[in-house]
Structure 1
Amino acid sequence: MQADDLERLVTRAMPFGKYKGTLICDLPGNYLNWFAREGFPPGEIGRLLALMQELDHNGLSSLLTPLRQRR
């Protein structure tokens, strides 16, 4: 994880697929779990999706609340 990754989760939108345009932090858990099973895309987007899936899976999504409020 890089220092700004949590900030990116609340500012970066999904660039493709069924949830194109949805902030990564707002993606549903079943969609994130699908990527975990099938494989995350390469590059930054895959890294962010994997991080969000880990946060969601472990019930840590509330860590993003202060970052959401700053926006």
Structure 2
Amino acid sequence: MQQVEPDKEFLIKLAHTKMPFGKYKDRFLIDLPEHYVVWYHSKGFPKGKLGEMLDTIYTVKLNGLEDLIRNIKKQYPKPR
């Protein structure tokens, strides 16, 4: 079985990305309420990079790995 390596740059960017619109505008994606992410999952995530990031946040929250993303945010500076 082939092991999948996470994309380090994607995870760093994910840790520093804020919601660009809506009720939770300017809140870090990792800090979005779980019910909101679950609702978005059932509704369908937006297309593009934001949708990919929200889908990853959904998986992170589903597996209780929020601290992993928060630790990445602390350890690595915001990418340009």
Instruction: After the TM superposition, list the runs of 4 or more consecutive aligned residues in structure 1 that deviate by more than 6 angstroms.
Output: none
**1:10 aligned counterpart, secondary structure:** helix
Specify which of 17, 21, 33 is matched with residue 16 of structure 1.
Answer: 21
Q: Is the 8 A contact 2:15 2:70 kept in 1?
A: no
Q: What is the aligned-residue identity percentage?
A: 34
Unaligned runs of 5+ in 2: 1-5
For 2:3, the equivalent position in structure 1 comes to none
| Paired residues for 1:1-71 under 5 Å | 2-70=7-75, 71=77
Partner Cα distance (1:53, 1:37) in 2: 11
Partner Cα distance (2:39, 2:7) in 1: 23
- What's the C-alpha RMSD, in Å, of the aligned pairs? 1.5
How many pairs align? 71
TM-score, length of structure 2 as denominator length: 0.78
Unaligned runs of 5+ in 1: none
Q: Give CA deviations for 1:22-67 in whole Å, capped at 9, x if unaligned.
A: 1111111111001110000000000000000100011111211321
Partner Cα distance (1:59, 1:43) in 2: 25
Q: Is the 8 A contact 2:19 2:27 kept in 1?
A: yes
